A and B are shown apart, each in its own frame.
Chain A
Amino acid sequence: VLTCIRGGHVIDPASGRDGVDDVFIGDGRIVAAPSCERHVDQTFNASGSVVMAGGIDIHSHIAGAGVNAARLLLAEQQPPNRPAAALGPGRSSFATGCRYAEMGFTTVVEPAIAPHAALQAHLELADIPIIDKAILVVLGNDDFLLRLIRAKESAAALRDYVGLTLGASRALGVKVINAGGAAAFKANVRQFSLDDVVPAYGVSSREIVKALQHAVIEAGVPHPLHVHCNNLGLPGNVETALATIAAGADVPLHLAHLQFYGYGTAGPRGFSSEAARLAEAVNASRNLTVDVGQVMFGQTVTISLDVLRQFNSRGSARPAKWLIVDGDANGFGIVPYKYRPGNFYNAIQFAVGLELFLLINNPAQVLFSTDHPNGAPFTAYPDILALLMDRNLRAEMLTRLPVEAMEMTTLASIRREYSLAEVAIMTRSAPAKVLGLADRGHLGVGARADIAVYANEVDRAKMFRAAALVFKDGELVVREGQVINAHWGRALDVRPEHDASMTRRLHRYFAERYGLTPEVIRVRDRLIERPEPFELVPCRA
């Protein structure tokens, strides 16, 4: 069956296309225009619409023990007589897939899964329809790795452990979250920065980050180490982010939700935006990509494996309840939170995110995220895109925020507006590239036919909230912002080679520590009851 999306404004930064064109789909892939129009079986008229590849979200907490605990912690926040799914963080796995697809997103990465929690995460992901998914597996607070680093084991040993863990947890990449911070918190450390040392292990946060960064490269994983820095959310933490960039950007590095590290200590309240300095550092680092973690105003819930940070922010919980799990390795913390436009600190957080988007020159370096749901639920994306594309809309928004807060930021002075092509880079081609997904994020021949068609509305929020048409693997799944066909997607993973001796070591470790074999936490295809639950992403040779 040959399908044609006819006459839309095709925006495909990877090929440089930005104009009216047709897109052809055959057998789930983008294909070349046929020699004869008679071969086209099915045509969708897209004139007046914008045609892009399906969106790719590199950082969104949509599954795992923490997300599920947040559902249960906030079980009362369920509006009666409304689909439970419509609320904030997307109550059910099923709703998560539908809401993403309606916005034209077709691939989403859950970035924070501990190795022993990977099976549950994949079971949840398997119940998220339509979109393809992936997890990043979290290392850097786990006893086994910290022991390896303390014992100054070889780069090959670290590579093997990372490779083995990626394969067993079926992950697409590796993330480190406040490296060593959760382990230090268990020893009653309350502040932990890049050069602080984890008690009982004698290794610094910096050493952990560097060791993992190199192990990921050695293992041939396309996505560079995904780093959640120390000191998230604290005044003056721009120095931590800058130090992490200085330490790590000699080789590829991804910094997550950079907005939460854009804070200085200037001004009457000792809290100010340092986004301009951070953006300058990003602009100067070609090896570096970041995602933003934009804050939007409203009720949300923060879900993080940065258990130290979550513990320290427990006093700000709204509603006033919180859950801290001192689990194996990182554990996690859940703190519900409400960002309010009248709140000085929240207003600065809001501004810092937009400043980063607008002051980082290359949209391929600044990827789109709200760190869902930590900055805002992913359903806020259309409103953020609208703000990036329209300075008048931003100016209007600023009038609602405290003047003294806006004096601590540069946002009001920024005139830049994102073009649709820049939006496509930031939400399509760039995340595909940084994740190593060669057949996604573009509309070239051979690409997966994940396609979003948007009515080209002046109201950009309206445009991006409800795609006119969405195709997943060439199948029409959304029409006029409504899901019409909810099939099951896959999870993307890498499986680096590793030496069998590391497998034996891990078996010994598990036997001693848990009285179990690590086989019980291995994610095997047949445990995920879907026809083809996984799709292999090749490692670099």
Chain B
Amino acid sequence: MISRGIGFAALIGLLGVFPLFAGAYPVKLLEEILIWGVFAMSLDLLMGHAGMVSFGHSAFFGVGGYIAAFLLKSAPGALAALTLPALGAGLCALVIGLFSIRVSGVYFIMLTLAFSQMFYAVAFQAAWLGAEDGIVGVPRPRILGVNLAEPMSFHVYLIALCALAALVLWRVVRSPFGHVLRGIHENEARMQAVGYPVNRYKLLAFVIAGVIAGVAGALYSQFVGSITPDAFLWTTSGEVLLMVIIGGTGTLGGAALGAAAFILLQTLVSSYTDRWMLILGLTFITLVLFAPGGIVGALRGRVGLRA
């Protein structure tokens, strides 16, 4: 426990000082990995712990990103950069959750997918959201008097928030609430019979995951400086699902590793050939067929896939 804490702190410190001895491009890559890592970890709370496979997690990422982008243009503060995107994404998760958690398995996958595409449809056609071009020229905020347009301060801000998100998720997973979620994953009928209000637990998990995904989306639009309807696209949900799978479900750290592997692979392949979609597709098919436990599963010799 203590050694884990020290390890986590050391990792954060290392990531924090990374820009001091690396060029601008590796730093950008690292920041992208961190944001997607948070996004993937939030999905892992649902998939790996509650057993709810959502194929519409891009909805909350996109909502967070759009709210941040929209508000930052007029009021570049913490409220616009983080608070309201998180609340907005949580609210959307609550509504979609109310519709979707009544069903499970493949039907749940389909419903979440369809609902996330609804957001795509809205963003794609809403002129006040920039329609298909999205929102561009998003300024970086000023928080606690620090101007985050400066690269190093933005880097520290990003690391701090990603660490915070990881800690929150870790606390949730380790709490009694997290244990109930795993119980529901194992045997929903039994948890119901024991007297747990299963649907309320699932809904809360869905909302927490939505809030964190919203924060990841908000960070993303500040990082890139723009957001387009593609953030909502169902393939975005598919990609983040793959990150979780590549890393290994049910292990928050695995999801972050998976995000790193995905982005590094994508960057590497697309720098060599135009056929990156083909190679990614083949890689995923191979991974699903032959390495179901992901990176963490392979490291553990395919035993004890759960955290």
A binds B: no
Residue ranges of B at the interface with A (Cβ–Cβ < 8 Å): none
Residue ranges of A at the interface with B (Cβ–Cβ < 8 Å): none
